[in-house]
Amino acid sequence: MRLSLKVLAAPAVVAAVSLGTLVVVPASFAGEAEVSQAETYADYSMMFERSAGQFWADGQPAGQWAWNPQSEDGSHISWGSPETWPPEMAEVFVHDGDWVLLEGWHDNGTFYRLEVDTEQVGDGNCQNMRDLPTDGGAQRYARWTIPDSAYCLKAWGTIVEESTGTRIDFGHTQTWSPPARCSNAYYQGQTCIKQWESWWDNNGSPGSPIERRLERDQYLARGIGMAFKVVQFYPRPWSADLRFDWTW
């Protein structure tokens, strides 16, 4: 997901590999927690609640997020600075069967629509990958039902800026780890799922090879939500912890 302007340079997604090179980050997540098979991505992300949170870094607010459910199956999440809230940016997510789909995001007065050409799923080490059917539409972002083992998702495709028709090539790779105990600087004794992601694109250089823009870990806490803990590896080392969460 896209975090604050300080954290992300690419929208909503940040887990990708180049078309020719796989970037693998170990998905070690010590201390597995008990989890009901009925748990879903919504239990950790809080996507169908009017929920919000603020994460801090270096002793000060670094960013804020808020979910705004649109229907039984769809929800928008905004990321931005607490000082200039509300932001223009809002990512569009949809629950479809056993998947959470990312359709795109609103920003800069337009909509950036995803057209996915290739998608794959495999184990937590991004091995044993198999193709998933795709029709040039939204990206499979995460499994809806929380599995008891790690898994990997890869997607390649195009971002279409609807106001201008500009097309940006992208690649996105994620690994999702099963529930485990987690804590940050402000909350203790929680249960989280962990997302590692890497985002690549050729924004600003249409037709050129995609380049890595972002790589990070993000922890989502059950009943609390997004950005419980963020550890960014690229473009520079950086970390943040959720300090406040609320409903609105």
Residue 101 lies in a domain: yes
pLDDT over threshold 90, residue 6: no
Maximum Cα interatomic distance, the chain, rounded to a whole number of Å: 48
Total domains in the fold of the chain: 1
Q: Would you report the helix, strand and coil content of the chain in percent, each value rounded to 5? A: 5, 55, 40
Residue 219 lies in a domain: yes
pLDDT-derived band of residue 182, with 50, 70 and 90 as boundaries? very high
Give the span between the Cα atoms of 45 and 76, in whole angstroms. Answer: 12
Concatenated DSSP letters for 5-61?
TTT-SSSS------SS----------SB----TT-BHHHHH-TTS-EEEEEEETTEE
pLDDT value for 199: 98
pLDDT over threshold 60, residue 153: yes
pLDDT value for 34: 52
Residue 9 lies in a domain: no
pLDDT over threshold 70, residue 4: no
Residue 8 lies in a domain: no
Query: Which residues lie closer than 8 Å to 52 by C-beta, 6 or more apart?
Result: 64, 65, 66, 67, 225, 245, 246, 247, 248
pLDDT value for 118: 98
Residue 83 lies in a domain: yes
Summarised one tens digit per residue, pLDDT across range 50-64 is: 999 999 999 999 999
Residue 17 lies in a domain: no
Single pTM value for the model: 0.85
Residue 13 lies in a domain: no
Distances, alpha carbon 230 to alpha carbons 8, 74, 115, 199, 222, in Å? 11, 25, 28, 15, 15
pLDDT value for 14: 32
Residue 231: Cβ-neighbour burial (10 angstroms; 0-12, 13-18, 19+)? middle
The range of the structural domain enclosing residue 166 comes to: 41-247
Instruction: Please give the mean pLDDT across all residues of the chain.
Output: 89
Residue 88 lies in a domain: yes
